[in-house]
Amino acid sequence: MPFLDSLTAISLLLLVGVLCIQASVHNYAGDKFSRKGNAFVIHGGSEGIYYSHPNLNDSSASANGDAYIRFEKITFRRPQEASNFSTGLIYAILFEVDDRETIGGSAYGGQRAICCTADLAKLGACKEGEVIHRLSTTNPGWPEVFGVSFDVNEETSSMQPRSVQITRTGMYNLYFMHCEPRLVDLVVEGKTIWKNPSGYLPGRMAPLLNFYGFMSLAFLVLGIFWFSQYARFWKEVLHLQNCITLVITLGMFEMALWYFDYAEFNETGVRPTGITIWAVTFGTIKRTISRLIILTVSMGFGVVRPTLGGLTSKVVMLGGTFFVASEVLELVEHVGAVSDLSGKAMLFLSLPVAVLDAFFVLWIFTSLSSTLNKLQAKRMTAKLDIYRKFTNALAVAVIVSVGWICYELYFKSTDIYNEQWQNAWIIPAFWHVLSFSLLCVICALWAPSQNSMRYAYSDDGSEEFDKEDTLTLIKPSPLSTKDVSELNSEDVDLEEDKTE
């Protein structure tokens, strides 16, 4: 009997639910069931949880070694006009992602269903109108299934508070389900609390707490080096070095804010919105300024030309657009209930940022090529050498970025159920490491020193360099009738002189 095929209808629900991270305290404030196949479903949460360590030595109350999922004040509510009949069970089903095949089934290899159909009932596999589930063969006692029902004239039905101890590391999923078509306006209220042995951070976010602590220390070390050089040679400081100082300062604040954000989240189970918004904003400002600095340096600003001329407004416009697009994407991704956002919406918000990044890269390397050619033609060897090293560093960063993007796409496309959640933290961490490494290279190339001024723009015979770049930005005005007549008379006089 082909009952419960390799992939069941619950797999389709997992695609929606497990791709996003929520807070460890999942609140349900009148959430309404939606129809999925022949069932009505609410996704209650998905998180990676490590198994319990009862003897973990930690003074923090949130890190007492217990790992559990606790149900608190879960209440189902139906309208008064729909309370004139009794119902079957409304289920809360908690399962580990490897046990997803234990939910739902099909008869004779036909269409999969979550609720028991007449054909499955005839086979004696389940009772018609109930959610299909069976015990796992590899994880005894799972999935955990709880149910409540409504009596006649009963408008609310509540689950008993309970805690489910986690004794096996895995990605756990919670769904509320029922099979009663007459309960189309049924809603759920209450909350569930998901806890790891070390605190309330979801399992795939937990390693980032230590990572941001490490990055905060790395920025501190870089800042000490840079500010010491800055203080020693403050009379020789260039405008570019002031901009680098700003980027380092923003990076220090960003990493510190992310660390405190994750530490608070781990302690309370609720993400601190204020700290998160500040961390996102500092990070977005840092990335925007970093891109603008790299672009203007590639154009030779402050090194081989005093101004950007007519390009200033275009550079500012590109930076402003990138800031807005990136800020919106980051706020939506990190603030609030992430799982409320569909994959298509995330793609819609990510696309402008990706396009603007590509435009930055294209403009940067086009400008670098032009600047290198002109430096070589003018035989400015010191500046040419530092620009070649700068170009090589950018080229390596771009190549590594493209390679990592390909790996990230492969990782996400082959891990649709987040079974590799323990390694997922590496994806965002890599981008922080890459940007920090590039910043270190830039700091090494342009560190304040007693010879800093040799890389600054000077007016010693290089005016033609700037004039050539700005000529194309100057639109010639039309000649007046008087000017034309004067030119014509001059031509006539020249012709007369020649004939004489």
User: Looking at per-residue confidence, does 186 or 466 come out higher?
Assistant: 186
Mean pLDDT throughout 299-316? 81
Band (pLDDT 50/70/90 cuts) for residue 353 is very high
CB 200 within 8 Å of CB 24 = yes
d(CA 302, CA 59): 53
| Structural domain count, the chain | 2
Mean pLDDT throughout 390-409? 94
Mean pLDDT throughout 165-189? 93
Quote the pLDDT of residue 457: 61
d(CA 106, CA 93): 19
CB 261 within 8 Å of CB 276 = yes
Residue 455 lies in a domain: yes
- Check whether 16 has a pLDDT greater than 60: no
Band (pLDDT 50/70/90 cuts) for residue 192 is very high
Quote the pLDDT of residue 471: 39
Mean pLDDT throughout 89-96? 95
User: What is the domain-level CATH number for residue 115?
Assistant: 2.60.120
Whether residue 218 sits in one domain with residue 188: no
Band (pLDDT 50/70/90 cuts) for residue 39 is very high
Quote the pLDDT of residue 495: 46
Residue 315 lies in a domain: yes
User: Looking at per-residue confidence, does 235 or 77 come out higher?
Assistant: 77
Whether residue 219 sits in one domain with residue 189: no
Residue 365 lies in a domain: yes
Quote the pLDDT of residue 117: 84
The domain in which residue 437 lies consists of 206-460
Mean pLDDT throughout 199-223? 95
- Check whether 211 has a pLDDT greater than 90: yes
Quote the pLDDT of residue 341: 45
User: What is the domain-level CATH number for residue 395?
Assistant: 1.20.1070
Residue 469 lies in a domain: no
Residue with tokens 């054909």: 119
Quote the pLDDT of residue 378: 83
Mean pLDDT throughout 175-185? 93
Quote the pLDDT of residue 494: 40
**Residue 13 backbone dihedrals phi, psi, to 5 degrees:** -70, -35
Mean pLDDT throughout 467-492? 44
CA–CA distances in Å: residue 191 to residues 25, 29, 52, 75? 7, 9, 22, 9
Quote the pLDDT of residue 19: 35
Whether residue 251 sits in one domain with residue 167: no
Residue 256 lies in a domain: yes
Band (pLDDT 50/70/90 cuts) for residue 196 is very high
What beta strand segments (E) does 392-435 contain? none
Q: Which amino acid is at 312?
A: T
Band (pLDDT 50/70/90 cuts) for residue 347 is confident
Whether residue 236 sits in one domain with residue 303: yes
Whether residue 212 sits in one domain with residue 190: no
- Check whether 59 has a pLDDT greater than 50: no
Neighbours of 298 (CB within 10 A): 23
CB 56 within 8 Å of CB 62 = no
- Check whether 173 has a pLDDT greater than 90: yes
> Which letter does DSSP use for residue 474 in this model?
P
Mean pLDDT throughout 29-50? 92
Residue 479 lies in a domain: no
Whether residue 274 sits in one domain with residue 299: yes
Whether residue 80 sits in one domain with residue 151: yes
What mean pLDDT, rounded, does the chain reach? 82
Whether residue 238 sits in one domain with residue 190: no
Residue 484 lies in a domain: no
